């Protein structure tokens, strides 16, 4: 690459141009990585710094006390539990409902089926803001300004997408397995649980963990619906701690942020292949 | 008719789903209905809301805050999502697919981390990163820039950049998956013809994944248009009305001024706008299919 | 295949179980009939908690206290809680909200209790009016206050401004700020003037009203937001224009303040920290700041003598326009009210009574740098002899209250919006036009008037 090979026409060889181009590309990528990773630098320093502020500073003393505070503090521990309840509850409800509902959509032909399927796709266009007000008023009436209201609301919003995903998975299962089960006298419960579900398990996993992640990250809905600080999930707890300048410190919040972010990151990297194919499959085919 | 299972049991398995969908539809209809009233959470309109027809919508069109919000939302959506996320996502997808690039996994993870982070964590991080004493100023110091609080001095710019940082990975993943479907022989044939990298990009990559690109533009537009958490966490819509996107305007009207009816009109307007964009997209797609088919 | 399946089913059941636990915990938050709940902000902790202890001992009824951490806006939270039907039995309510909440049916009418309470006769009439709507009373006034110019003495010394500072017109105030800016470029806020919607009602009261009231003569309510005789809100007036012009001078023309501090997540804490760290020269603030500059900054409050060495105050002068008041102040006040949906009205009232005894209130009010709302406490030696209180009581003679007619909170938010228009670079005339249009669109043209 470093040898200049002048051809008869005086142009540099393809290889040398390629070499230069490659270096440029790596440089661009390095800048991109710098842009994407620099905000984290402060976060990680602050998380282990017992005296962190919003200012960038390499800590003199490194400690894990902030992380201990996250799990030991009564409010933050409660927020973690609430997040688990909301995310796990929503994911389970969505999976349970769509697991059953997707079967008729996949195997049956009934009036309005395609209309409903198209409707489900279109529903995703409506911004969350449009649902916030009716959901708030409804939860006030039903006295559901608590975790149940949040789970029901989030489930409602995630079921359309979940159904489309599971239906696509069921579509790939050949009917022969079911027919064999029917010969043995299986009812619908057995058909779904024992036949379809094990085969499309990867689809179920995708739906469960995608719903878990999106509910885990959700902010606006719990922010508006949950009036009692004891019920806040981590997103709302973090937001409300921004302003408590004197009482809560940046090191704690940084550690808290890291703990909060870990499940989402972990889930993605563990399930990456399934998630991406599932997403693009259902999202584009729609 | 499915042999072996009664129609009844099939319909029963649809019931929970139907309940949730009914709830969803009910919410949408209720939102529309509320937008035609002056319902409020305090004062006399809390107890006796009146039907006022399209007055809320008429007010919206004259309200300088709404006009400002439209501008802010469109700028935010267009610049950060359509331009920022899609273009950078595409370039990254192309770059990282090439054979002689090393440390691919490292670059990928760097970009992905931004997207995987919960919104509030990103808001918190950027709040500190872009503050007067934050790391951003530390990085820019060698370039001779005075340290400023980016969030109060250049709020919309900072929020746009933060959103590009946050969302590009999605576009990257989508485009990368699409590029993977391009058969390698096409590239080999192009190499034989002596094509440059740029020619390969424009004449092979882009045309083949064009449908994916267009769909993604629509998707990110829809999602970014209604985005709330990141912006609200970083600036609360301020300073002033500088970053007051429509979702934040709706929140303020409904939950800080307690004008539920008016707030609902804002969210229905958002739906109408986004719906219209989708209709234009689908119509355009039909036309393109008709032309090429 | 069935074996693998059961693992997942178990996980599913576990999470559904957690969901039900969440449901149960959520429901437990509703109070049992033998408890009473009360919500208030941190500044009132010293006032409420001893009385709560006494109440619990005397009646055996448990009290659930929700103390809002510093940095939270109690006003906003209470409103949404009431609307959501989840507010506590006893709640701290900012006085100006009483008409709107009462109209919506959120507050319990306390007249039957108040008329049998001898202490009620001690409350000043204007204070009783503050908690009333259409002749009925919905709360007990807690405290009141005045507003003035605070200044940081070390900065004044360095800038060479004579103390005690006695500005006579707006020009005097602006001149002092300009002098500070020239002499001490490191001071980021030579003049701190509350602006924008983040500070909420503080912008309207400590900022806007303090200027508006001195911008024109009080005749025919020319210096106010509402023309009470005509029964209309004032959309345009020379006073409004002059006020907005001051905002323009401070934030745009002379840059006597930058924007940053008015939009931080902890606006109140940061204002106080900026003051005691010498980053503010002059600031418009309430009388409570004599204590809160330190306690609200999370710092131990120094002795009165030490505080007097650091911070001084002067009554806010008028604009100097002929007929305008020479000294200006406006008073607000917090109240404690009872949730109309309470299941335990008698216990809630008993709790209120215990909190608002002469002894408890008298013990707290002077030390908190608040102005008393009742005669018997104003007569107490501890109150009369407090030097600071005696000094600011003189301001009470010049003070007025907000134009709290239903709809005021909307007008207030439009005022905040108008100040933000100035920050965004609009001219005072444009900001005022927007303000007028907002009022018309909200209340209808026949409810808004223009003063030439």
Residue ranges of the alpha helices (H) in C249-380? 267-276, 289-295, 304-310, 345-355, 358-365, 375-378
Shortest CA distance from C262: residue in chain B? B239
Q: Does one domain contain both C120 and C169?
A: no
Q: What is the pLDDT of residue A17?
A: 65
Q: In this structure, are strands C132-133 and C189-192 parallel, antiparallel, or unpaired?
A: unpaired
Cα B132 from Cα B146, distance rounded (Å): 9
Mean pLDDT for C285-289 is 92
pLDDT digits (tens, 9 = 90+) for C105-144: 999 999 999 999 999 999 988 888 889 888 999 999 998 8
Mean per-residue pLDDT over chain B, rounded: 86
Q: Is residue C379 included in any domain, yes or no?
A: no
Cα A172 from Cα A163, distance rounded (Å): 14
Which of residues C343, C370, C397 is at a domain's end?
A: C370
**Range in B263-272, C17-26, C354-363 with the lowest mean pLDDT:** C17-26
Q: Is residue C264 included in any domain, yes or no?
A: yes
Walk me through the domains of chain B, giving residue ranges and CATH numbers: 57-292 (1.10.3720.10)
Q: Is residue C114 included in any domain, yes or no?
A: yes
**Range in A277-286, B283-292, C312-321 with the lowest mean pLDDT:** A277-286
Q: In this structure, are strands C132-133 and C136-137 parallel, antiparallel, or unpaired?
A: antiparallel
Do C119 and C374 contact (CB within 8 A), yes or no? yes
Contact C29 A230 (CB under 8 A): yes
Q: Is residue C85 included in any domain, yes or no?
A: yes
Q: Does one domain contain both C324 and C433?
A: yes
Torsion, CA B119, CA B121, CA B124, CA B127, rounded to 10: -60
Q: Does one domain contain both C366 and C281?
A: no
Q: What is the pLDDT of residue C25?
A: 54
The pLDDT-based confidence of B46 (bands split at 50, 70, 90) is: confident
Cα C80 from Cα B40, distance rounded (Å): 11
Whether A146 has a pLDDT exceeding 80, the answer reads: yes
Whether B79 has a pLDDT exceeding 90, the answer reads: yes
Identify which of A206-210, B185-189, C206-210, C437-441 has the greatest average pLDDT.
C206-210
**Range in B32-41, C68-77, C89-98 with the lowest mean pLDDT:** C68-77
Whether C442 has a pLDDT exceeding 70, the answer reads: yes
Cα A191 from Cα A175, distance rounded (Å): 11
Closest CA to A215 of A82, A46, A60: A82
How far A1 CA lies from chain C's nearest CA (Å)?
A: 54
- Using an 8 Å CB-CB cutoff, list chain A residues near C270: 245
- Using an 8 Å CB-CB cutoff, list chain A residues near B116: 261, 264-265, 268
Q: Does one domain contain both C115 and C191?
A: no
**Range in B90-99, C186-195, C204-213, C288-297 with the lowest mean pLDDT:** B90-99
How many beta carbons lie within 10 A of that of residue C97, not counting itself? Answer: 25
Whether C7 has a pLDDT exceeding 80, the answer reads: no
Q: Does one domain contain both C116 and C136?
A: yes
Tell me how many domains chain C contains.
2
Q: Does one domain contain both C299 and C445?
A: yes
Q: Which residues, numbered 383 to 442 in chain C, qualify as contacts with chain B under a Cβ-Cβ cut-off of 8 Å?
A: 406-407, 409-410, 413, 417, 420-421, 423-424, 434, 437-438, 441
SS (HEC) of chain B = CCCCCCHHHHHHHHHHHHHHHHHHHHHHHHHHHHCCECCCCCCHHHHCCCECCCHHHHHHHHCHHHHHHHHHHHHHHHHHHHHHHHHHHHHHHHHHCCCCCCCHHHHHHHHHHHHHCCHHHHHHHHHHHCCCCCHHHHHHHHHCCCCCCHHHHCHHHHHHHHHHHHHHHHHHHHHHHHHHCCCHHHHHHHHHCCCCHHHHHHHHHHHHHHHHHHHHHHHHHHHHHCCCHHHHHHHCCCCCCCCCCHHHHHHHHHHCCCCHHHHHHHHHHHHHHHHHHHHHHHHHHHHHHHHHC
Q: Is residue C325 included in any domain, yes or no?
A: yes
Q: Does one domain contain both C361 and C279?
A: no
C23: three-class secondary structure by DSSP: helix
Whether C263 has a pLDDT exceeding 70, the answer reads: yes
Q: Is residue C422 included in any domain, yes or no?
A: yes
Q: Is residue C79 included in any domain, yes or no?
A: yes
Whether A122 has a pLDDT exceeding 50, the answer reads: yes
Q: Does one domain contain both C156 and C282?
A: yes
Mean pLDDT for B104-132 is 89
Q: Does one domain contain both C85 and C120?
A: yes
Q: Does one domain contain both C275 and C310?
A: yes
Ramachandran angles phi, psi of A6, nearest 5°? -80, 120
CATH at C336: 3.40.190.10
pLDDT digits (tens, 9 = 90+) for A12-28: 566 666 677 778 888 88
**Cα torsion C123, C125, C127, C131: sign:** positive
pLDDT digits (tens, 9 = 90+) for A29-68: 888 888 999 999 889 998 888 887 777 778 888 888 888 8
Do C5 and A69 contact (CB within 8 A), yes or no? no
Contact B165 A42 (CB under 8 A): no
Cα B13 from Cα B19, distance rounded (Å): 11
Cis, bond preceding B239 (omega within 30 deg of 0): yes
* Chain C adjacent subunits, 3+ CB pairs under 8 A: A, B
Closest CA to A110 of C339, C63, B210, B1: B1
Q: What is the pLDDT of residue A54?
A: 73
Which residues constitute the domain of residue C48? Answer: 35-141+332-370
Q: What is the pLDDT of residue A283?
A: 47
What pTM was estimated for this model as a whole?
Answer: 0.85
Copy the structure tokens of residue B21: 């969908």
The DSSP call for residue A61 is S
Angle at A208 between CA A207 and CA A211, to 5 degrees: 80
Q: Does one domain contain both C323 and C337?
A: no
How far B71 CA lies from chain C's nearest CA (Å)?
A: 15
The pLDDT-based confidence of C289 (bands split at 50, 70, 90) is: very high
Site from B15, B25, B120, B166 to mutate, A interface, most A CB atoms within 10 angstroms = B120
Cα C238 from Cα C294, distance rounded (Å): 38
Site from A130, A194, A215, A269 to mutate, B interface, most B CB atoms within 10 angstroms = A130
Cα C393 from Cα C329, distance rounded (Å): 12
pLDDT digits (tens, 9 = 90+) for A60-102: 888 888 888 888 888 889 999 999 999 999 999 999 999 888 8
The pLDDT-based confidence of A147 (bands split at 50, 70, 90) is: very high
Which residues partner with C149 through β-bridges?
A: C284, C314
Copy the structure tokens of residue A281: 């499959």
Whether A9 has a pLDDT exceeding 70, the answer reads: no
pLDDT digits (tens, 9 = 90+) for B151-163: 888 899 999 999 9
Contact A134 B31 (CB under 8 A): yes
pLDDT digits (tens, 9 = 90+) for C393-415: 888 888 888 888 888 988 998 99
Whether B1 has a pLDDT exceeding 70, the answer reads: no
């Amino acid at each position: 690459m470093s040898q200049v090979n002048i051809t008869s026409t005086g142009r540099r060889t393809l290889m040398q141009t390629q070499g230069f181009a490659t270096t440029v590309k790596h440089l661009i990528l390095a800048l991109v990585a710098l842009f994407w990773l620099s905000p984290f630098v402060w976060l990680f320093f602050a998380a282990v710094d017992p005296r962190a502020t919003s200012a960038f500073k390499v800590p003199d003393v490194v400690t894990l006390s902030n992380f201990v505070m996250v799990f030991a503090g009564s409010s933050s521990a409660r927020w973690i539990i609430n997040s688990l309840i909301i995310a796990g509850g929503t994911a389970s409800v969505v999976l349970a409902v769509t697991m059953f509902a997707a079967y008729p959509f996949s195997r049956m032909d009934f009036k309005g089926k395609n209309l409903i399927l198209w409707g489900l796709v279109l529903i995703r266009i409506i911004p969350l803001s449009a649902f916030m007000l009716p959901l708030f008023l409804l939860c006030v009436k039903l006295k559901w300004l608590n975790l149940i209201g949040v789970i029901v609301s989030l489930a409602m919003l995630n079921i359309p997408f979940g159904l489309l995903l599971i239906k696509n998975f069921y579509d790939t299962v050949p009917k022969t397995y079911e027919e064999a089960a029917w010969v043995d006298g299986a009812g619908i419960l057995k058909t779904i649980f024992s036949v379809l579900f094990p085969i499309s398990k990867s689809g179920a996993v995708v739906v469960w963990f995608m719903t878990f992640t999106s509910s885990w990250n959700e902010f606006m809905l719990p922010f508006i619906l949950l009036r009692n600080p004891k019920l806040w999930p981590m997103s709302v707890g973090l937001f409300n701690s921004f302003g408590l300048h004197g009482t809560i410190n940046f090191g704690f919040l940084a550690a808290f942020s890291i703990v909060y972010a870990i499940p989402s990151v972990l889930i993605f990297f563990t399930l990456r292949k399934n998630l991406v194919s599932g997403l693009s499959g259902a999202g584009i085919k729609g | 008719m499915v042999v072996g299972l009664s129609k009844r049991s099939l319909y029963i398995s649809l019931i929970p789903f139907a309940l949730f969908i009914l709830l969803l539809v009910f919410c949408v209809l209720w939102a529309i209905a509320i937008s035609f009233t002056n319902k409020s959470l305090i004062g006399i309109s809390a107890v006796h809301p009146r039907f006022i027809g399209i007055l809320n919508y008429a007010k919206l069109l004259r309200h300088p805050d709404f006009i400002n919000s439209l501008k802010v939302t469109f700028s935010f959506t267009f610049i950060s999502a359509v331009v920022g996320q899609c273009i950078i996502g595409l370039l990254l997808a192309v770059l990282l697919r090439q054979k002689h690039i090393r440390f691919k996994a490292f670059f990928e993870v760097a970009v992905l981390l931004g997207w995987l982070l919960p919104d509030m964590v990103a808001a918190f991080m950027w709040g500190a990163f872009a503050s007067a004493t934050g790391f951003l100023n530390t990085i820019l110091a060698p370039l001779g820039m005075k340290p400023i609080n980016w969030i109060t001095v250049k709020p919309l710019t900072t929020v746009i950049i933060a959103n590009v940082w946050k969302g590009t990975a999605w576009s990257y993943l989508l485009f990368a998956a699409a590029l993977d479907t391009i058969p390698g022989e096409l590239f080999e044939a192009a190499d034989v013809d002596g094509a440059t990298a740029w020619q390969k990009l424009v004449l092979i990559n882009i045309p083949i994944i064009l449908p994916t690109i267009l769909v993604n533009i629509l998707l990110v537009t829809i999602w970014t248009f209604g985005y709330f958490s990141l912006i609200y966490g970083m600036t609360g819509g301020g300073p002033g009305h500088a970053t007051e996107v429509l979702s934040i305007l709706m929140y303020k009207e409904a939950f800080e001024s307690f004008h539920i009816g008016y707030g609902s009109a804002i969210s229905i307007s958002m739906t109408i706008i986004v719906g219209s964009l989708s209709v234009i997209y689908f119509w355009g797609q039909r036309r393109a299919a008709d032309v090429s088919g | 295949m069935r074996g693998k399946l059961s693992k997942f089913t178990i996980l599913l059941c576990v999470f559904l179980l957690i969901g039900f636990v969440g449901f149960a915990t959520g429901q437990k938050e509703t109070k049992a009939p033998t408890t009473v709940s009360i919500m208030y902000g941190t500044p009132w902790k010293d006032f409420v908690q001893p009385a709560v202890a006494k109440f619990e001992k005397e009646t055996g009824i448990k009290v659930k206290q929700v103390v809002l951490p510093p940095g939270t806006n109690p006003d906003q939270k209470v409103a949404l809680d009431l609307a959501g039907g989840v507010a506590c039995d006893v709640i701290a309510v900012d006085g100006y909200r009483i008409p709107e909440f009462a109209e919506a049916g959120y507050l319990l009418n306390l007249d039957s209790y108040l008329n049998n309470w001898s202490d009620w006769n001690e409350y000043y009439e204007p204070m009783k009016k503050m908690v009333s709507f259409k002749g009925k009373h919905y709360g007990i006034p807690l405290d009141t206050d005045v507003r003035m110019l605070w200044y940081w003495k070390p900065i004044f010394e360095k800038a060479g401004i004579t103390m005690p500072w006695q500005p006579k017109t707006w020009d005097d105030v602006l001149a002092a700020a300009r002098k500070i800016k020239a002499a001490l470029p490191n001071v980021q806020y030579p003049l701190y003037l509350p602006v924008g919607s983040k500070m909420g009602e503080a912008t309207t009261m400590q900022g806007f009203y303090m200027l508006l009231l001195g911008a024109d003569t009080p005749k025919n309510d020319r210096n106010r937001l509402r023309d009470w005789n005509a029964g209309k809100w004032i959309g345009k007036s020379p006073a409004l224009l002059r006020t907005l012009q001051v905002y323009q001078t401070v934030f745009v023309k002379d840059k006597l303040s930058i924007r940053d501090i008015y939009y931080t997540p902890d606006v109140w804490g940061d204002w106080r920290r900026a003051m005691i760290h010498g980053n503010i020269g002059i600031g418009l603030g309430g009388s409570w700041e004599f204590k809160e500059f330190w306690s609200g900054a999370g710092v131990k409050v120094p002795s009165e003598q030490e505080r007097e060495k650091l911070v001084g105050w002067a009554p806010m002068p008028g604009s100097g326009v002929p007929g305008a008041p020479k000294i200006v102040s406006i008073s607000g006040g917090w109240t404690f009210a009872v949730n109309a949906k309470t299941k335990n009205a008698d216990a809630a009232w008993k709790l209120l009574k215990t909190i608002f005894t002469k002894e408890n209130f008298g013990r707290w009010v002077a030390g908190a740098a608040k102005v008393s709302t009742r005669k018997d406490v104003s007569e107490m030696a501890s109150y009369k002899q407090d030097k600071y209180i005696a000094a600011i009581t003189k301001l009470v003679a010049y003070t007025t209250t907000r134009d709290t007619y239903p709809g005021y909170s909307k007008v207030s938010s439009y005022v905040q919006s108008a100040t933000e228009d100035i920050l965004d670079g609009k001219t005072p005339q444009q900001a005022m036009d927007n303000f007028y249009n907002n009022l018309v669109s909200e209340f209808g043209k026949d409810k808004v008037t223009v003063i030439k």
